[in-house]
Amino acid sequence: MRFRTTLSVSVAAASALALLTGCGAADMTKQASPFANAGGARSMTLSVQSWVGAQSNVAVAKYLLEHKMGYRVDTVQVDEIPAWDALSQGRVDALLEDWSHPDQEKRYVHDKKTVSYAGGLGVTGHIGWFVPTYFAKQHPDITNWKNLNKYASQFRTAESGGKGQIMDGSPAYVTHDKALVKNLKLNYQVVFAGSEAAQITQIKQFAKEKKPFLTYWYTPQWLFKKVPMTEVKLPPYKEGCDTDAAKITCAYPKTPLRKFLNADFARSGGKGAAFLKKFQWTTEDQNEVSLMIAEQKLSPEEAAKKWVDAHPDQWKRWLP
Amino acid sequence: MATITAPAARRALPGLLKSRPAAKLLTLAVAAVILVPLLDSRWGSGHWPHALTVSLTGPLGDASDWVMNNRDSHPLFLYFFGHISNAVVLCVRGVYLALLAMGWVGVTALGALVAWRVAGVRLAAGTAVAFLACGALGMWLPTMQTLALMVAAVLASVAVGVLLGLAAGLSDRLDRALRPVLDTMQVLPAFAYLLPVVLVFGIGVPAAVLATVVYAAPPMARLTALGLRGADPEVLEAVRSLGATPRQRLLTARIPLARKELLLGLNQTIMMALSMAVIASVIGAGGLGDRVYQALASVDVGAALAAGIPIVLLAIVLDRVTGAAGRAADNTGESRRTVWLLALAGTAVAAVAARLLGRAEWPAGATLNIAEPVNHAVNWMTAHLYSGVPVIGGTADWAAHFTTWMLDPLRDGLRALPWWSVLLIVAALAWLIGTWRTALTATLAMAAIGVLGVWDSSLDTLSQVLAAVAVTLVLGIATGIAAARSDRVDRMLRPVLDVFQTMPQFVYLIPVVALFGVGRAPAVVAAVVYALPAVVRITAQGLRQVDPAALESARSLGATGRQQLWQVQLPLARRSLLLAVNQGVVLVLAVVIIGGLVGAGALGYDVAFGLAQGDLATGLVAGAAIVCLGLMLDRVTQPTGRAKKGA
């Protein structure tokens, strides 16, 4: 009797396991998000990066896909490099704003062919060091990096110890600042704010009090409209001067931002994929939406609706 | 004369050795005298010697490349991890679709009816209000996504936990092997778990669910084992004498007798899973956590709060309902089953009715926008408190002073200590308060940090933890004393503590930066906010449990209120105070790590960097160092009793 129950239990367990797992191979790089497609409509997942510009791209694309094309769009917040991996696995279908990641591009686009290039975003990105314009007006020579050491004491904070503070942002962003400070022999300490949110909050607090600060920042960025900043010129960028990350002594390049799609989605994604390939706008457009989200605190959807209502000629070109 | 002094001296030495702390310190001092010159001559006395580090950058980088390149082809992934991932996706999807099919009316009705059956009318009303509030905040879909993820994660955690608990409850050998592992897992910060799962499963729901299971299963396992071992031996003997087989004994006696512990385990598992569901948004969990995280990106505290409130509500409701289930342990009978059936039928009727009326989705107009007023309030607060407050200075000035006068000296002091003396201090502290075993674990954990090559940043993190713990204990114990002495203070504090214990830390990270600037100070403040409720609770509870007779006799001897407190209550509540320190340290560490996102740097930043850049070497090494630091801090503050009593 006891033997039989044990037997039946183990048979049941084994069959449940078999049922649960199916019987063949399970390729987890082909599994979609469990929340996708839940409405029964055609659906896709867009990755959002943590900065507001990327939120604006996604908000407008999502609004058009949902209201003009009948899609249902899910969004997931992922940093760029993990987003490449998620894109390759098909967990997300699109990455709309990539700031140049040659290693990932080689691995996924050229070697594995799981990700495909989907055209430019139309926006050119640039990273640099910035001081507030109110400070640059008082001290015009600050805009040359050679004079930075002269002002180091004014940029001192509790975190930077005896040196000047240059504030860096999220760990997800491309940065050579530690190497730059060392190689250009600057009397500065790189302080990592750890997230863009923390960095923006701190910049706003400094600006409210008209305090001097030096920060890693980038364009296009909505914050320039609220806190005008002037770039400090680093030694000019030349092709290839940033190949050895430890020995860098030059500025950051200007990067045309690009879009990437999951390769399967690009092939068989129908109108949605065609739309995302055509999606292209300007820095001004992106900033307009970003300001609505970040400063007026509209929800991304409301901001996208306002922009879409105001620029019908722009987006009609994107519809397939 | 000589005949008198000799025995006296002989007696004095054992006397010294009998005083155990002194004996331990003496032993350590002897060991130090022998070892230190050796170590010093071999490796010097500055920072951790470079010769004793092992660089894992190469192997870890290779491992990560291998996984990336083989994830879609190697059998290990196709036939093992792939199926796990698949099962998770199917399970979460199933629950999610079921929740959507029930619609908001169905889900609310089900929640309320279950709460009514388990815990009575008041909690049922509370549950319904909580669900409706989630909808009113415009968070219905994210709430359902989080709920689906939670259901899958909690079911898996309970299955894993009960299996491990049964094993540990029935076999002494397994118990000895599992206990230290489970104890350790429970003190580790959630952030440290993320990277390994992301590596194998990639960003997304499967990774999030599995990280949650690893984080939430240990309490279930511990409490299951505890319940099985705590069963009354006389009852078991009686059952055995009735001729029950071992399996019958287990099913009919031991498990039912352990019901209380099992339900407490379920309660703790749910709480831990919920807190992890938010942190897992960093690796793509979706749902409410993702909303909080996205709001953070646009520095929108109001929106973050709108997504944070449903989490707090869910946590409080789930906590109260499972807690009530644990108390109402022996409420059996036939009528119960029919009432349950009635409840289910009621849910079905409500869901179908709503669907027929075309109200399955939350009505689009019926949402409340709390983001704007909250943002106004936060802006006002940060604008007026940041600096320039007359006399006391602004919060930014405090933060700067705290950093310069407390954090900097502490960090530099720790770094200036010779490396062997840090190990020695750890050993001494752990041994004084615990056993030689805990001392050895703590010392080895600290040494492992050095070997991993992250000595400096670990000491930075440690200095932040120490500063935050000091502040937490001062504030927490003072508040705890107030709460223990006055029922009114206690009642007023309870909801505040509930909220702060369950509010996702991401919500208050940004206001904290706005008040205290970027750096280590905001991380310390966030850690204090998070750890304070537990310390207040434990202190108040400990003081209230002090034997009333002891207090009464003190009072009759004419002791003043202050004397009663200092000379009777606090000494008698020593155990609870030690436990408060231990809990405080563990909780503070968890948040100081997350503080890497607001400029605290050190290990927390390294983990965030590893996650964001897919840099396994940096992230995993920092994660391992956090694990060691957590282990060391727990052992150094762990009273002996826990290891001995155990049960």
Model pLDDT for residues B66-108, shown as the tens digit of each residue: 877 777 777 777 777 878 888 888 888 888 888 888 888 888 8
Whether B518 sits inside 8 A of A76 (CB atoms) is no
Q: Taking the mean position of all CA atoms in its chain, how far away is CA A94?
A: 12
A45 contact B CB<8A: no
| Farthest-apart Cα atoms in chain B, separation | 105
Going from the C-alpha of A316 to that of each of A64, A97, A119, A320, the distances in angstroms are: 10, 21, 18, 9
Same domain assignment for residues A210 and A159: yes
Whether A191 sits inside 8 A of B599 (CB atoms) is yes
Measured distance between the N- and C-terminal CA atoms of chain A, rounded to whole angstroms: 69
Beta bridge partners of A256: A124
Whether B600 sits inside 8 A of A167 (CB atoms) is no
Minimal C-alpha gap between B553 and chain A (Å): 53
Return the number of CB contacts < 8 Å for A and B. 222
> Residue A34 is nearest to which of B205, B510, B600, comparing CB atoms?
B205
DSSP helix/strand/coil, A217: strand
> Residue B202 is nearest to which of A85, A167, A191, comparing CB atoms?
A85
Residue at a domain's end among A255, A285, A308: A255
Amino acid identity for residue B554 in this structure: A
Spatial separation of the C-alpha atoms in residues B360 and A39, rounded to whole Å: 12
Contact yes or no for B481/B539 (Cβ under 8 A): yes
Beta-carbon contacts of residue B451 (< 8 Å; ≥ 6 apart): B52, B53, B54
Same domain assignment for residues A251 and A141: yes
Minimal C-alpha gap between A30 and chain B (Å): 9
A12 falls within a domain: no
A280 falls within a domain: yes
pTM of the model: 0.81
Q: Domain holding A153: CATH number?
A: 3.40.190.100
B623 falls within a domain: yes
A171 falls within a domain: yes
What are the two backbone dihedrals, phi and then psi, of residue B391, each rounded to the nearest 5 degrees? 65, -65
Here the tokens at position B402 are: 């705290």
Q: What is the DSSP letter of A187?
A: S
Domain count, chain B: 1
Mutate to test the interface with B, among A74, A87, A201, A264 (most CBs of B within 10 A): A201
Residue from B565, B589, B595 nearest B477 by CA = B565
Whether B286 sits inside 8 A of A51 (CB atoms) is no
Q: What is the DSSP letter of A75?
A: E
Q: What is the pLDDT of residue B8?
A: 42
What are the two backbone dihedrals, phi and then psi, of residue A222, each rounded to the nearest 5 degrees? -65, -25
Contact yes or no for B224/B161 (Cβ under 8 A): yes
Same domain assignment for residues A249 and A280: no
Spatial separation of the C-alpha atoms in residues B234 and A7, rounded to whole Å: 33
pLDDT level of residue A216 (50, 70, 90 thresholds): very high
By CB atoms closer than 10 A (0-12, 13-18, 19+), residue B42 is exposed
Q: What is the pLDDT of residue B239?
A: 78
For residue A201, give the chain B residue with the closest CA. B514
Task: Mean pLDDT check: name the lowest of A180-184, A221-225, B293-297.
Answer: B293-297
Same domain assignment for residues A118 and A263: yes
A162 falls within a domain: yes
B34 falls within a domain: no
* Ranges of chain B whose pLDDT falls below 70: 1-20, 45, 326-337, 358-361, 364-367, 387-393, 639-647
State the average pLDDT over residues A201-224.
87
Domain hosting B473: range is 393-415+423-639
A8 falls within a domain: no
Mutate to test the interface with A, among B203, B249, B279 (most CBs of A within 10 A): B203
Q: Quick: pLDDT tens for B598-624.
A: 888 788 888 888 888 877 788 888 888
Judged against a pLDDT cut of 80, whether residue A85 lies above it is answered with yes
Here the tokens at position B331 are: 């409420």
Minimal C-alpha gap between B535 and chain A (Å): 28
**A83 to chain B: which residues are within 8 Å by CB?**
203
pLDDT level of residue A1 (50, 70, 90 thresholds): very low
Whether A198 sits inside 8 A of B597 (CB atoms) is yes
Contact yes or no for A258/A246 (Cβ under 8 A): no
Same domain assignment for residues A172 and A247: yes
DSSP helix/strand/coil, A90: coil
A100 falls within a domain: yes
Same domain assignment for residues A80 and A228: no
Helix or strand holding residue B240 (H, E) = helix B233-241
Minimal C-alpha gap between B469 and chain A (Å): 20
Residue at a domain's end among A235, A255, A275: A255
> Residue A192 is nearest to which of B300, B408, B601, comparing CB atoms?
B601
Q: Quick: pLDDT tens for B384-437.
A: 777 666 666 677 778 888 888 888 888 888 888 888 888 888 888 888 877 788
Q: Domain holding A262: CATH number?
A: 3.40.190.10
For residue A295, give the chain B residue with the closest CA. B298
Domain count, chain A: 2
**B612 to chain A: which residues are within 8 Å by CB?**
79, 81-82, 170-172
B310 falls within a domain: no
Q: What is the pLDDT of residue A33?
A: 67
Same domain assignment for residues A120 and A266: yes
Contact yes or no for A211/A227 (Cβ under 8 A): no
Minimal C-alpha gap between B82 and chain A (Å): 5
Spatial separation of the C-alpha atoms in residues B7 and B481, rounded to whole Å: 49
A5 contact B CB<8A: no
Beta-carbon contacts of residue A29 (< 8 Å; ≥ 6 apart): A88, A89, A90, A114, B71, B72, B202
What value does the mean pLDDT of chain A take? 82
A16 falls within a domain: no
B4 falls within a domain: no
Here the tokens at position B146 are: 């989080």
Same domain assignment for residues A50 and A76: yes
Whether B78 sits inside 8 A of A25 (CB atoms) is yes
What value does the mean pLDDT of chain B take? 79
What are the two backbone dihedrals, phi and then psi, of residue A219, each rounded to the nearest 5 degrees? -115, 150
**A33 to chain B: which residues are within 8 Å by CB?**
89, 204-205, 286
Task: Mean pLDDT check: name the lowest of A103-107, A192-196, B13-17, B39-43.
Answer: B13-17
For residue B507, give the chain A residue with the closest CA. A197
Spatial separation of the C-alpha atoms in residues B327 and A35, rounded to whole Å: 36
Residue from A119, A72, A99, A95 nearest A174 by CA = A99
Same domain assignment for residues A267 and A305: yes
Compute the half-sphere exposure of residue B142: CA atoms within 13 Å on the CB side of its CA.
29
Whether A29 sits inside 8 A of B92 (CB atoms) is no
Going from the C-alpha of A318 to that of each of A69, A119, A266, B512, the distances in angstroms are: 11, 13, 16, 42
Judged against a pLDDT cut of 60, whether residue A9 lies above it is answered with no
Spatial separation of the C-alpha atoms in residues A15 and B302, rounded to whole Å: 50
Mutate to test the interface with A, among B66, B463, B518, B591 (most CBs of A within 10 A): B518
Q: What is the DSSP letter of B101?
A: H
For residue A18, give the chain B residue with the closest CA. B83
Contact yes or no for B43/B49 (Cβ under 8 A): yes
Residue from B576, B591, B571, B586 nearest B634 by CA = B586
DSSP helix/strand/coil, B607: helix
Contact yes or no for B179/B168 (Cβ under 8 A): yes
Radius of gyration of chain A (CA): 24
Q: What is the pLDDT of residue B120?
A: 80
B198 falls within a domain: no
The share of chain A scoring above pLDDT 90, in percent, equals: 10
Minimal C-alpha gap between A241 and chain B (Å): 22
Minimal C-alpha gap between B151 and chain A (Å): 13
Whether A83 sits inside 8 A of B87 (CB atoms) is no
> Residue B517 is nearest to which of A83, A107, A205, comparing CB atoms?
A205
Same domain assignment for residues A142 and A163: yes
Q: Domain holding B535: CATH number?
A: 1.10.3720.10
A6 contact B CB<8A: no
Same domain assignment for residues A205 and A310: no
Beta bridge partners of B534: none
Q: What is the pLDDT of residue A50?
A: 79
Q: What is the pLDDT of residue B488?
A: 86
Domain hosting A280: range is 35-124+256-316
**A114 to chain B: which residues are within 8 Å by CB?**
72
**A48 to chain B: which residues are within 8 Å by CB?**
294
**A82 to chain B: which residues are within 8 Å by CB?**
198, 202-203, 283-284, 611-612, 614
Task: Mean pLDDT check: name the lowest of A4-18, A270-284, B314-328.
Answer: A4-18
Q: What is the pLDDT of residue A58?
A: 92
Strands A115-132 and A229-232: antiparallel
**B284 to chain A: which residues are within 8 Å by CB?**
76-78, 82, 86, 91
Judged against a pLDDT cut of 80, whether residue A51 lies above it is answered with yes
Q: What is the DSSP letter of A144?
A: B
Whether A201 sits inside 8 A of B514 (CB atoms) is yes
Q: Quick: pLDDT tens for A134-176.
A: 988 888 888 888 888 888 888 888 888 788 889 988 888 888 8
Going from the C-alpha of A181 to that of each of A103, A116, A203, B184, B544, the distances in angstroms are: 25, 36, 20, 41, 57
Please, which residues 384-403 of chain B have a Cβ atom closer than 8 Å to chain A? 386-387, 396, 399-401, 403
Residue at a domain's end among A255, A275, A295: A255
Whether B82 sits inside 8 A of A33 (CB atoms) is no
B192 falls within a domain: no
Spatial separation of the C-alpha atoms in residues A307 and A67, rounded to whole Å: 14
Same domain assignment for residues A218 and A138: yes
B437 falls within a domain: yes
Beta bridge partners of A45: A74
